Amino acid sequence: MGRDRSADSRAKMAYTKLIPRFTSGAQVEEISQDSRLKAYRLSIPAGASDTYRLAQLDDYAKTSRGRFPLRYPIQLRLSARASSDAIPGTWGFGLWNDPFGLSLGFGGDPFRLPTLPNAVWFFGASKESYLSFRDASTTQRGVAANGFLAQTFRSPKFHPLLIPAGLALPFSRTMTRRFMGKVIEEAGIRLSMDVTQWHRYQLDWHENEVLFSVDDTQIFESRISPHPPLGLVIWIDNQYAAFTPEGKIGFGVLANPEPAWLEVKDIHVGRDDNPPTTTTSGASNERSALP
């Protein structure tokens, strides 16, 4: 008696919609000690660079992108730790529109065509990746393109600059990249922390702002809020993608000499009906609590 039924339904949503997906040899294991508090280990085996390896939990499998389940205001909270701070490939957790519906040719949903990214997440990417279209000269903090990132993207479904971007690609990849940087809005910071230890992570997604917190301390905020709808994703894989400022394009899979894993627990996804009381002043779209 007296329990908040809406809170119960929100907590239940975080678990009943999570669907495991994994490639051969990878695993998504429930490691909960308490049946009321779900915990998972997502692991991929060691292997060469000729095979894609993925372990993933999401709430949008086999769903068309327009029917993804999450819209602002939404809060994601979970605790996580990873096997290493140098996992070959990518790993993380957050909300996105699965823009690479074909997973760059390595095992996504074949019916979902690629699109421009809308995402807000904590994202780990090894040095082979370069996940930013920003020009380093336009930001005082540098470009957050790999490492462990707090990152957000907002993109339209279509923009007229996509036409010259495509036409320029065979002749000047750097020009294409500059056009894409005008179409895709992004903000992010590289985090310096020990990801092999348990930490509490939180994302607050509002219509006009996103907030990132670690261990109950806000570490980053941005007015670049992704367009809905989005889906929840928690994953680890051995994939990389890069479009560098020099125009070099690369994607594929990496060898990982050791098994790699990501553990998550205390997952909560629910409506955040308390919009942020602070706003970002001036011309900047972002603010960090880090030095």
- Domains in the chain: boundaries: 5-288
C-beta of residue 206 within 8 angstroms of C-beta of residue 225: yes
pLDDT in tens, 21-53: 999 999 999 998 776 778 999 999 999 999 999
pLDDT in tens, 193-205: 999 999 999 999 9
- Please report which confidence band the pLDDT of residue 101 belongs to, taking 50, 70 and 90 as the band edges: low
Q: Which CATH number fits domain 5-288: 2.30.130.10, 3.40.50.2020, 2.60.120.10, 2.60.120.200?
A: 2.60.120.200
Say whether pLDDT at 189 is over 80.
Answer: yes
pLDDT in tens, 130-170: 989 887 655 445 678 899 999 999 999 888 888 888 888 88
Say whether pLDDT at 282 is over 60.
Answer: no
- Please report which confidence band the pLDDT of residue 103 belongs to, taking 50, 70 and 90 as the band edges: very low
Say whether pLDDT at 207 is over 80.
Answer: yes
CA distances to 11, 28, 40, 192, 213 from 23, rounded to whole Å, are 28, 10, 16, 31, 31
Supply the pLDDT for residue 137.
53
The model's pTM? 0.85
**Can you tell me the distance from the alpha carbon of 13 to that of 31, in angstroms, rounded to the nearest whole number?**
19
**DSSP one-letter string for the chain:** ----HHHHHHHHHHHHT-EEEE-TT-EEEE--SBTTB-EEEEEE--B-TTS--EEEEES-TT--GGG-SB-SSEEEEEEEEES-S--SSEEEEEEE--S-TTGGGTSS-TTS------EEEEEEE-TT-B-----GGG-SS----SEEEEEEEE--S--TTHHHHHHHTTT-HHHHHHHHHHHSEEEEEE--S-TTS-EEEEEEE-SS-EEEEETTEEEEEES--PPSPBEEEEEEESEEEEE-TT--EEEEE--BSS-EEEEEEEEEEEE--S--S----SS-SEEES--
Average pLDDT, the chain: 84
pLDDT in tens, 73-97: 999 999 999 999 999 999 999 999 9
Which residue matches tokens 């819209």? 71
Nearest to 122 by CA among 154, 97, 90: 90
Supply the pLDDT for residue 133.
86
Residue 125, phi then psi, degrees to nearest 5: -140, 130
Supply the pLDDT for residue 7.
38
CA distances to 124, 133, 154, 253 from 136, rounded to whole Å, are 20, 9, 19, 27
Residue type, 40: Y
Supply the pLDDT for residue 15.
39
Per-residue pLDDT, averaged over 259-280, amounts to 76
Higher-confidence position of 122 and 280: 122
126-118-81-37 Cα dihedral, nearest 10 degrees: -160
- Please report which confidence band the pLDDT of residue 271 belongs to, taking 50, 70 and 90 as the band edges: confident
